A and B are shown apart, each in its own frame.
Chain A
Amino acid sequence: MSNEIKGSRVRGQGPAPAGFKQGSEVRRALNKFYDRAFSVVGLIATMVGLAVLLTLLIDVFMDGASRLGWQFLTSYPSRKPEQAGILSAWVGTVWVMALTFIIAFPLGVAAAVYLEEYSKKNWLRDFIEINIANLAGVPSIIYGLLGLGLFVRALSLDRSVISGSATIALLVLPIIILSTREALKAIPPSIREASYALGASKWQTISYQVLPAAMPGILTGTILAMSRAIGETAPLITIGALTYVAFLPTSPISSEFPFLSLRGLFDAFSVLPIQIFNWVSRPQKGFFTNAAAGIIVLLIITFLMNGIAVWLRHKYQKRIRW
Chain B
Amino acid sequence: MYKRFRVKEKIIEGALFLSALSSVFVTFGIIAVLFFETYEFFKEVSIIDFLIDTQWTPLFAEKHFGILPLFAGTFLSTAIAMAVSLPIGLISAIYLSEYASEKLRTAIKPILEVLAAVPTVVYGYFALLFVTPILQKLVSGLSGFNSLSPGIVMGIMIIPIIASLSEDAMHAVPMSLREGALALGSTKFQVSIKVVLPAAFSGIAASFILGVSRAVGETMIVAIAAGQQPRLTLNPLVPIETVTAYIVQVSLGDTPTGTIEYKTIFAAGMSLFVVTFFLNMISYWLKKRFREEYE
Interface of A toward B, CB cutoff 8 Å: 8-9, 11, 31-32, 34-35, 38-39, 41-43, 45-46, 48-50, 52-53, 55-56, 59-60, 63, 106-108, 110-111, 113-115, 118-119, 127-128, 130-135, 137-146, 148-150, 153, 170, 173-174, 177, 201-203, 224, 227-228, 230-234, 237-240, 243, 273, 276-277, 280-281, 288, 291-292, 295, 298-299, 302-303, 306, 310
State how many angstroms separate the Cβ of B71 from the closest Cβ of chain A.
14
A145–B266 touching, CB < 8 Å: yes
8 A Cβ contacts from B129-170 to A? 129-130, 156, 159-160, 163
Residues in chain A near residue B122, CB distance under 8 A: 56, 60, 231, 276, 295, 298-299
Known A34-B187, A233-B120, A277-B220; judge A138-B273 contact (CB<8 A).
yes
Residues in chain B near residue A38, CB distance under 8 A: 94-95, 99, 188-189, 192
State how many angstroms separate the Cβ of A245 from the closest Cβ of chain B.
14
Residues in chain A near residue B199, CB distance under 8 A: none
Residues in chain A near residue B47, CB distance under 8 A: none
Interface of B toward A, CB cutoff 8 Å: 5, 8-9, 12-13, 15-17, 19-24, 26-27, 29-30, 33-34, 36-37, 87-88, 91-92, 94-96, 99-100, 108, 110-115, 117-126, 128-130, 156, 159-160, 163, 184-185, 187-190, 192, 210, 213, 216-220, 223-224, 244, 247-248, 251-252, 257, 265-266, 269, 272-273, 276-277, 279-281, 283-284
B217–A49 touching, CB < 8 Å: no
State how many angstroms separate the Cβ of A120 from the closest Cβ of chain B.
12
State A231–B37 Cα separation when bound (angstroms).
28
10 A-B pairs (CB sep. < 8 Å): A35-B190, A42-B99, A114-B13, A131-B23, A134-B27, A138-B30, A234-B223, A277-B121, A280-B121, A298-B121
B9–A139 touching, CB < 8 Å: no
Residues in chain A near residue B163, CB distance under 8 A: 46, 49
Residues in chain B near residue A50, CB distance under 8 A: 108, 111-112
Query: Count of A-B contacts with CB under 8 A?
Result: 272
B91–A41 touching, CB < 8 Å: yes
B216–A139 touching, CB < 8 Å: yes
Residues in chain B near residue A310, CB distance under 8 A: 110
Known A141-B217, A141-B219, A149-B36; judge A135-B16 contact (CB<8 A).
no
Known A295-B125, A302-B118; judge A139-B219 contact (CB<8 A).
yes
Known A115-B20, A230-B119; judge A203-B277 contact (CB<8 A).
no
Q: From A35, A49, A142, A173, give the contact of B23 (CB < 8 A).
A: A173
A48–B159 touching, CB < 8 Å: yes
Residues in chain A near residue B15, CB distance under 8 A: 110
